Structure 1
C-alpha cells in the first residue's frame, strides 16, 4: 500500500523537529543520526532517503529553528499591547522560562560556537538565518541593522551566560541586566 501524498514531507519535518530539539539541548557534535531518528520515532536506516548527510540536516535544522524562534518571538510581541513590541521580545528571550527550556529555545546560543567548525555550506545557511534574526530585531525595534546586531548579540550572550552559571540568583540577575541594557541600547538609538 503506497504512502499517502505528503508522507515523505511530513516524515522529513519530524526528523528536522527531532534534530532541532536535540541540537538545542546538546549541540551538534554529541548528537548521532540514530538518536535524532529515534526522537522522530523512526529507525536510522531511513535517514538517507531524506538527507544526503548530517551536515545537510544541520543546515535545514538551522533554517527551521531560526524560523521557529522568530515565530515564537512574534507571538510574544503580539501578546503585549501596552509596551513596545521589542520590549516584549527582549523580556521573553531573556526570561527564566527561555533560559530553562533549551529544547524549545533559540538555537543561536546553543550552536554558535560549533558552527564555526562546520562546512562552508552550513556556515552559509547559518549566516543567512542569523541575518534574518537581526533583521527581525532591527525592524521590530525600528533601529538600524548595526544596532540590531548589537542587541541580538547582547541577548544571545546574556542567555549563554545565564545558562552557564550554577547560582540561580546570579543567573536571574544576568537576565535582568541583559534586559535593561538591551532595552537601553534600543531607546538611545531609535
Structure 2
C-alpha cells in the first residue's frame, strides 16, 4: 500500500526538526544519526532515503532553526505595542528562558564554535543563516547592517557567555549587561 501524498516530505521535516533540537542541545559532533532518527520516532535505516549524509542534514537543520527563531522573534515583536520592537527581541533573546532552553533557541550561539571547524559546505550555509539573522535584526531595529552586525554579535556573545558560566548570578548579570548594551547600541 503506497504512502499518502506528502508523506516523504512530512517524514523529512520530522527528521530536520529532530536534528535541529538535538544540535541546539548537544552540538553537532555529539549527536549521531541514530539519535536524531530516534528523536523523530523513526529507525536509523530510513535516514538515507532522505539525506545523502549528516552534513546535508546539518545544513537543513540550520536553515530550519533560523527560520524558526526568526518566526518566534517576529511574533514577540508583533505583540509589542509601545516599546521599539527591537527592544522586545533583545529582551527575549537575552532572557533567562532563552538561555535555559537551548534546545528551542537560536542555533547560532549553540553551534558557532563547532561550525568554524566544519566543512566549507556547512560553513557556507551557516554564513548565509547568520547573514539572514543580521538582516532581520537590522530591519527590525531600522539600522544599517554594519550596526546590525555589532548588535547581533553582542546578543550572541552575551548569550554564549551566560550559558557557559556555572555561576547563576554572573550568568544573569551577563544577560542584563548584554540587554542594556544592545539597547544602547540601537539608540546610538
Which residue is 1:47 aligned to?
Answer: 47
Which residue is 1:102 aligned to?
Answer: 102
Which residue is 1:85 aligned to?
Answer: 85
The whole-number CA distance in structure 1 between the counterparts of 2:32 and 2:90 is 33
Deviation at 1:31, TM superposition (A): 0.3
Deviation at 1:165, TM superposition (A): 1.1
CA RMSD of aligned residues (A): 0.6
Give secondary structure in 2 for the equivalent of 1:166: coil
Deviation at 1:118, TM superposition (A): 1.2
Deviation at 1:51, TM superposition (A): 0.1
- TM-score computed with the length of structure 2 as normaliser: 0.99
Which residue is 2:144 aligned to?
Answer: 144
The whole-number CA distance in structure 1 between the counterparts of 2:61 and 2:119 is 15
- TM-score computed with the length of structure 1 as normaliser: 0.98
Which residue is 1:176 aligned to?
Answer: 176
Which residue is 1:135 aligned to?
Answer: 135
Which residue is 2:186 aligned to?
Answer: 186
The whole-number CA distance in structure 1 between the counterparts of 2:108 and 2:33 is 21
Count residues in correspondence. 188
Deviation at 1:117, TM superposition (A): 1.2
The whole-number CA distance in structure 2 between the counterparts of 1:185 and 1:117 is 30
Query: Are 2:11 and 1:11 aligned?
Result: yes
The whole-number CA distance in structure 2 between the counterparts of 1:125 and 1:61 is 10
Give secondary structure in 2 for the equivalent of 1:181: helix
The whole-number CA distance in structure 1 between the counterparts of 2:163 and 2:125 is 26
Where structure 1 has 5 or more consecutive residues not aligned to the other structure, the ranges are: none
Q: In the TM superposition, what are the counterparts of 1:61-72 in structure 2 within 5 Å?
A: 61-72=61-72
The whole-number CA distance in structure 1 between the counterparts of 2:165 and 2:133 is 26
- Large movers: runs of 4+ above 3 Å: none
The whole-number CA distance in structure 1 between the counterparts of 2:115 and 2:164 is 19
